[in-house]
Structure 1
Amino acid sequence: MSAHPAVPTDPSAADHRAIVPRRRLLSLLAAALVTAPLALGAAGCGGDDASDPNAPVKISIFWWGGDARAKLTEDALTLYEKRHPNVVFEKTWQANQGYFDKLATLVAGGDPPDIFQIDDNYLTEYASRNATLDLGSYQQSGKIDTSRFPESLWKYGVVDGKLAGLAAGENTQGLVYDKTLLARHGLPEPTTGMTWEQHIAWAERVSKKAGVPGTQDPSGDYKAFWVWLRQRGADLYRDKSLGFTATDVTEWFELWKGARDRRATPTPDVIHEGNATDITKQLVVTGKAATSWVWANQLPELDKNTKDELGVTAYPGDPSAQWARASMYYSVFRGSKHRDTAIDVINFLVNDPDAARILGTDRGLPSNMDLRKQVADSAGDPAMKLSIDVENQLAAKFGPSPQVPLKGHSKVRSALTKAAENVQYGRATPAEAAQQFMAACTSAIG
């Protein structure tokens, strides 16, 4: 791994290095991890840095993101190196697209990073293949301090009873809307607690009066579908199975077909554009919808891409269906020869006040509540301060976190978008698309 990564200057650009078909990658990953117990055995016999805390240690760390995240992360790691002169980091990063292909290639090729960034799309997959170190014993000993984390946040890193990832930050679903547009037309802002029908009626009113579709159609957005399911007593996953039925999916698609029929949402081509684009080009900032369904911590990035003032609130319905979601995690490779130092590094990144000042909310709101207040008090960006304030308000209403998604979750997400677009374009009825989606989900999770 190179300490001077060759990454695209555009953080949204694809990484084209050695992309291997996914099935091949996963088979390679599984084969490589057969040797993980051997690596652990060697580490336990003196390969770990715990035997000599002053010995030189090189820690490899891999994450995805753009230039801004790279600068912040490198600054935080430089601070750690200053405090621990025996530690040097081998840093590699790249754009999001292709990141997990690259990570699987590194692990399968015998060159895994000691620390890697991961999200809930893949945490179960890597944990179930024994690629992630169980952080539970380090948490119990205090080497990882989660005492100032919301309980539901750190628990959202538990897979099959093992703490597979440490939450790098907290996030939750956020409905971002164009305050300037609404004020210009004398329209009310959406509020937390509106029902789904009330939201659609509000969006229809916006469409008629402002001439801009009131809301992006989220029928292909797993975040919105997940919240809606939890409000009905269902869930996205339960144990090793799906937590919903074809009837649930049909009703979800019918809800948004009705909204489209009332012209509360954009046309299918524009809906597709909103589904396919990155955060900087969401419909709420391109002026093609008054509302976008995103993560609350994305408000500052959205705000940078529009002259209008934006607001954020919870998704419709009972906000207790939302939870303290880990925006992403830090995981440690199970076969790392420098596990103790790697553990100390990730604990530093989430619990050190100086690290928090450097990292801000780039990976979500700080997991440590004391540091979150510190960042909020010093935030110079009004949009950042607003996103923190809104999430802190919602935190009092959060329900328990769901289980971390199953293996195949990324395919489930893609299948939902495909099925929803089949309905939007008239290629299938809601019931037909629901059956297609259920079949794709069953195949995805095995």
Structure 2
Amino acid sequence: MGNNGSVERRTVLKAAGASVAALGLAATTGCGGGGSGAGDGTVTIRYAWWGADERAKRINRSIALFEKKYPKIKVQTDFQDYVAFWEKFQTQAAGGNPPDVFQNAVGFLRKYDKRGILLDLKSQIDAGNLSLKNFRAGVEKVGQVDGKQLGIPVGSNTMSLVVDEKVFEKAGVDPKQGWTWDEYFAALKRIHDTQKVAGDTGYFSIMYLYDLYLRQNGKAFFTEDGLGFDEADLTEWWADGYNRVKAGIITDPKRVEQDKPKSSLSAGHAASEFTWDNFTVRYTAEGDSSYGLAPIPTTDGRQTGQYLASLMLSASAHTKHPEEVARFIDFMVHDPEVGKIMGYDRGILATTEQFDAFQPSDAPSKAIAQYEKDVAAAGVLGAITPHPAGADTVEAAFLRIGGDMSQGTTKVSDAVKQFFSEAKTALSA
């Protein structure tokens, strides 16, 4: 979950399946432990993250504040784009020399905990070096896996539906909390028939959206140790999506590829797109229309299956400076001035201290904050299911195979079998 929304995530996921190979390259890399110490008691910790230049500028300004408050702790920084970050991290982790503290996401928690890479931060919480107080809507639980605190959220986000407000208004479509999938698909058809534009850019290969649909129906994409649905479930979902592509209600996948790096929504070739709410600032920057956030469709008229996800900070089990790392994480997630600097770059600020300190001035950020308030007030937020090791590779396969299916290069039945085969391999590695 980064700055560029769907574009960044799709780029990243193409490389996700390379993790095992990358780890194999690192047999002689690094020599254990992280950070360093000086004769005067000053220690240096290494902090790595992914993102664009703007995120780096904001983080470096935040680090300057931290080093002013803690002059005996110096922070050495390293950042790349998403793909390069994980390639480098996998090599460092395999060599026993990962960064002391690093940006992380839920799909990687069990993967790297299984390999002994992640520090359980509970000991530092118990020691008073890191606080779990004042997190919004219980988002701190996103970093809790198998009784361990493996990550501390820096921001929160939830799945949303971004709509071209002008097109929806012209078509006479007004989404309300609790609207159903039948109503949503009827709206897409109405938009297609009256406005001569596809209703959606292609919902069926978004793993996190399918997870919401499954949760609405008493299942989930993942259980704690595997997949929570079967081939019949996915066949129905993908066949339905493919039929809507053929009917023109969904943007032609070839057009979606041609529009990149823009979204087909901001390019004017669709009227809506499902994505994480904090990614929505991209559409205003890319497009010429006005864009808003609409509720997730439901099965029963109430439950959306939504939960808060998060970018988070994790620590290395190899660090030589766990106390200093904990103090750094605590500062980065609680300090109000850091909240003002970071804004919603990594999602809606996770703690009340930072959320209250930052007052967004631009319309997209105000809309994102209001959307999360509205979702929380609707009482539909549940708890995210911790992802099993290999979830990142499974997500990449779901996106890739779903895309092939939508273009007609793979039959639905063959695509489903291929996905389950690849998922089984990834989850058993």
Query: TM-score, structure 1 length as denominator?
Result: 0.85
Deviation string, structure 1 residues 251-295 (Cα, Å, up to 9, x no partner) = 111221332244211123124557xx45xx112111111111111
For residues 31 and 155 of structure 1, the distance between their equivalents in structure 2, rounded to whole angstroms, comes to: 36
Separation of aligned partners in 1, 2:290 and 2:58: 26
Select 2:393's aligned residue among 407, 411, 417. 411
> How do 1:25-424 residues align onto structure 2 when only pairs under 5 Å count?
25-27=22-24, 55-150=41-136, 152-183=138-169, 185-272=170-257, 277=260, 281-317=262-298, 318-326=302-310, 328-375=311-358, 378-396=359-377, 397-424=379-406
Note if contact 2:97-2:318 (Cα within 8 Å) is conserved in structure 1. no
Residues 63, 385 of structure 1: alpha-carbon distance in 2 compared, 3 angstrom cutoff: same
Q: CA deviation at 1:341?
A: 0.9
Q: Which residue of 1 aligns with 2:3?
A: none
Q: How many percent of aligned residue pairs carry the same amino acid? A: 25
Query: Aligned partner of 1:266: which letter?
Result: T
Question: Is 1:22 matched with 2:22?
Answer: no
- Of 412, 417, 425 in structure 2, the residue corresponding to residue 443 of structure 1 is 425
Q: Distance in 2 between matches of 1:152 and 1:233?
A: 22
Shift of 1:202: 0.3
Q: For residue 394 of structure 1, what is the amino acid of its counterpart?
A: V
Structure 1 counterpart SS, 2:154: strand
Change (3 A) 1:71 1:109: same
SS of corresponding position for 1:62: strand
Counterpart secondary structure, 1:116: strand
Distance, in Å, in 2 between the alignment partners of 1:29 and 1:369 is 41
Alpha-carbon distance in 1 for matches of 2:222, 2:192: 35
CA distance in 2, matches of 1:435, 1:365: 38
Deviation at 1:221, TM superposition (A): 0.9
SS in 1 for 2:349: coil
**For residues 12 and 78 of structure 1, do their structure 2 counterparts lie closer, same or farther at Cα, with a shift above 3 Å needed?**
farther
Quote the RMSD (CA, aligned, Å).
2.9
- How far residue 303 of structure 1 moved from its aligned partner, in angstroms, is 1.6
Which whole-Å deviations, capped at 9, do the CAs of 1:142-161 have from their partners, x for residues lacking one?
A: 42222211464211112222
Instruction: Tell me the matched-pair count.
Output: 415
Deviations 1:288-309 (A, max 9, x none): 1111111101122322222321
Aligned partners of 2:332, 2:119: CA distance in 1, in Å?
17
In the aligned structure 2, how far is the partner of 1:12 from the partner of 1:240?
A: 24
Displacement after TM superposition at 1:48 (Å): 8.9
Q: Which amino acid aligns with 2:254?
A: D
8 Å contact from structure 2 (residues 26, 94) kept in 1? yes
Shift of 1:99: 1.3
2:70, 2:326 → 1: CA distance?
14
Q: Is the 8 A contact 2:212 2:306 kept in 1?
A: yes
SS of 2:162's partner is strand
After TM superposition, the structure 1 stretch with the greater mean CA deviation from structure 2, 107-116 or 55-64, is: 107-116
Any stretches of 5+ residues in structure 1 without a counterpart?
A: 1-10
**Structure 1 position 400, deviation (Å):** 2.6
Residues 285, 307 of structure 1: alpha-carbon distance in 2 compared, 3 angstrom cutoff: same
SS at match of 1:88: strand
Q: Distance in 1 between matches of 2:171 and 2:402?
A: 32
8 Å CA contact retained: 1:13, 1:95: no
Structure-2 separation of matches of 1:209 and 1:199: 15
